[in-house]
Structure 1
Amino acid sequence: MYYSSVNNSDDSKQYLGGDLLSREFDFAVVGNVGIDTNVYLQGEEIDFSREANFTENMDNIGQAGGYTALGFARLGMRTSFIGYIGDDVMGKWIRSEFRGIGIDDSGFMIDPAGTSRSVNIMNSSGLRKNFYDGKTHMNLHPPQEKYLPILRESRAVHFHIPNWARYLLKPAAAAGSILSCDLQDVTDINDPYRADFIKSCRILFLSAVNHESPVPVISAILNSLPDRIVIAGMGSRGVALGNNEGIRFFPAIESGSPVVDTNGAGDSLAVGFLTSYVVQGLDLEESVMRGQTAARHACSLKGNSVNLITMAELDGRAGCFKSP
């Protein structure tokens, strides 16, 4: 059985009423956090003809849940995080950074296999190939006492898609929270793994990296669930926005800074959009633009998830960037 958290109105002002304003947190982030090792190549490809390759290797807090929680906090949002870390040095690093920026860490749980890891091979254009080790996230079952108090005190809950997160969809909807989800790099919209998240969350984000055009994917969602808002990131091609009024395209913005690292860009798109649309009550178009601004800023940061865009920077830059 699936649950929908909000009504069919597209007016963002609906999100500002009721008891939501009195809740402790603006956003709860549900997802994986871990340590990313980014390997920056000097060229476009790995030279497998040589055993030794000279690269720049950097570690930072990352993965979808990590970038999203840090992004909300950098924008001044009251943020809580629900997810797993290991009882290890890397888990302690994550907890310390989250506490330092003001993210509530009462939703941290321990994965007995340790803290999740990713290795990202980055070429000189900022493009990446990801190698992900989610430890035991496919088999974890979070205890209710860890997440129910947070869900009940959160205006909005942004989901990522580790397997254990699906157990929180029904409680989050029952709490009356606004539900959103990042579906990541969708290949098949009928993928049963993502079905719970699509049917439970009103605002959906996805990467169109696997599609020449995002239109078929967005249309498939809207044909069965017309009240959804779907935002598809297309990298250098911009963003597509779909809702019950149709599908619109927004060209990529150019800041003048080089693209050095695309890690966290999609997460920043979601953070900028949700903060603008859900909390600030801005319209869809302006919210997309501010999401793009946050994403473009993330692309200028090399191996760095702690200097994501601030609200002052977002306010100052949004509307100033131009289409290339």
Structure 2
Amino acid sequence: MVVGGSGVDTIVRVDSLPVPLADSVHVGPIEEWPGHTGGNVALGARALGLKVALLDCIGDDWTGAQVRERLAKGDVEFAPLISPAGTRRAVNLVDASGRRMSFYDARDSADLRMPRDFYLPRLRRTRHIHLSIMNFARFLYDDIEHLGVPVSTDLHDWDGLADHHREFALRSDLVFLSAAGAGEGITALMREILHEGRAETVVATAGADGSYLLTRDGGSTPHHIPAAVPPAPAVDSNGAGDAFVCGFLYGRLTGRDVLECARLGAVAGAFACTAPGSTALIAPEALLTADQIRSSGTHDPA
């Protein structure tokens, strides 16, 4: 079960980042791609053969219709509530190497809530919950803990200081975040999440530098997981972190150990970079084959 985080990305391709200061910059075709973090995780997990439902609040607008259409095509069970603020949007600048800069319009009002009688029956029939860091999602934690269902979250580029992310960081069993937010302090932040919260595992993704994994019983030094090599040229990093989450969760829900889960995440994340707009969704056969080739042909010095 994925809660929150659907929306539509407007992709603008530029030669380089940052873009030059100019009144007008000529770009290639500007495209709209439904997804965002929750939608991407739901679609990616479904492509891996997991049965997935997404609960979210979206607008009764043309962007919301795009979200509905893509999730339906991806065979994701989607249960939306209508938000008067409309569907979340982002404008993402993507350079020639696939790097991106995102301008995110969250839209949701601070008092937006998801009714208990809407989500609780659905939570009772799920074996894992992934909460996007939408404000309304934090109010599900008490019921999730009461049900005893494991929960994961992605803090994205949290710097360890912003209050919005802290409850998600400390009340989730499995925490993902980007190393970019905390910079050189990422290891200390990972340790803090484990020490102060309930997480058993924290994973920090670092793009081309791979990822770092720290567990409650695995020592104080994060284990480094090298990045996987994309099977085709990288054209767009939108959704790569979400794909990593999908690969990791697939491994977790199929009984693999955390290091193998992280390797699967790396393979899925690399694959996601090979097509525009988070549309490269890896299938389980390709995921496992690529990981077998990778694990037999590489050595992790860490």
TM-score where L is the length of structure 1: 0.85
Residue of structure 2 equivalent to 1:6: none
Q: How far apart, in 2, do the equivalents of 1:199 and 1:85 lie?
A: 27
Identity, in percent, stands at: 31
Query: Displacement of 1:205 after TM fit?
Result: 0.3
**How far, CA to CA, are the matches of 1:104 and 1:154 in structure 2?**
13
2:277 corresponds in structure 1 to 303
Q: Letter of the aligned partner of 2:229 in structure 1?
A: E
Paired amino acid for 2:67: I
Match in the other structure for 2:227: 252
**Contact kept? 2:120, 2:143, Cα under 8 Å:** yes
Distance in 1 (alpha carbons) for counterparts of 2:246 and 2:110: 25
Q: How far apart are 1:50 and its partner, in Å?
A: 5.0
Deviation digits for residues 156-176 of structure 1, max 9, x if unmatched?
Answer: 000110111101111122222
Q: Distance in 2 between matches of 1:155 and 1:144?
A: 18
- What's the secondary structure of 2:32's corresponding residue? strand
Q: Counterparts of 2:105 and 2:39 in 1: how far apart (Å)?
A: 15
Structure 1 gaps of 5+ residues are: 1-27
The letter of the residue matching 2:234 is V
Higher fraction of strand: 1
Task: Say which SS state the counterpart of residue 145 (structure 1) adopts.
Answer: helix
Q: Which amino acid letter does the alignment assign opposite residue 233 of structure 2?
A: P
1:195 aligns with 2:166: yes
CA distance in 2, matches of 1:94, 1:161: 18
What is the aligned partner in structure 2 of residue 146 from structure 1?
118
1:235 CA drift (Å): 0.7
| Cα deviation digits, residues 113-149 of structure 1 (max 9, x gap) | 2111100011112111111111124331111122111
Paired with 1:227 and 1:91, the residues of 2 have a C-alpha distance of 33
Structure 1 residue corresponding to 2:135, chosen from 143, 163, 185: 163
Q: Decide which of 308, 311, 314 is 2:287's aligned counterpart.
A: 314
- Supply the distance in 1 between the matched residues of 2:171 and 2:241 (Cα, whole angstroms): 21
Q: In structure 2, do the counterparts of structure 1 residues 43 and 197 end up closer, same or farther at CA, with 3 Å as the change threshold?
A: closer
Q: Please tell me whether residue 272 in structure 1 is matched to residue 247 in structure 2.
A: yes
Aligned residue identity for 1:289: R
- Give a deviation string over 1:95-119, Cα, whole Å, max 9, x none: 122223221123x111112111100
Residue of structure 2 aligned with 1:48, choices 21, 25, 50: 21
- State the partner residue of 1:100: 73
Alpha carbons of structure 1 residues 286 and 88: separation in structure 2 relative to 1, 3 Å: same
CA RMSD of aligned residues (A): 1.9
Q: Where does the alignment leave 5 or more consecutive residues of structure 2 unmatched? A: none
Matches for 1:173-192 after TM superposition, within 5 Å: 173-188=145-160, 190-192=161-163
| SS of 1:212 mapped into structure 2 | helix
Which of 30, 33, 53 lines up with 2:6 in the alignment? 33
Show the counterpart of 1:77.
50
3-state SS of the aligned residue for 2:156? strand
Question: What is the CA-CA distance between 1:59 and the residue it aligns to?
Answer: 1.0
Please show how residues 202-221 of structure 1 align to structure 2 within 5 Å.
Answer: 202-210=173-181, 211-212=183-184, 214-221=186-193
Aligned equivalents of 2:108, 2:230: Cα separation in 1:
39
Match of 1:223 in 2: 195
- The alpha-carbon deviation at position 323 of structure 1 amounts to 6.0
Q: Bigger CA drift: 220-229 or 88-97?
A: 220-229
By relative contact order (CA 8 Å, sep 6+), the higher-ranking structure is 1
Q: State the Cα deviation string for residues 281-308 of structure 1 (Å, max 9, x = none).
A: 0111111100110000011111243x41
**Secondary structure class of the residue paired with 1:254:** coil
Select which of 66, 76, 100 maps to 2:39: 66
Contact 1:137 1:164 in 2 (8 A): no
Following the alignment from structure 1 to structure 2, what is the Cα–Cα distance between the partners of residues 323 and 126? 25
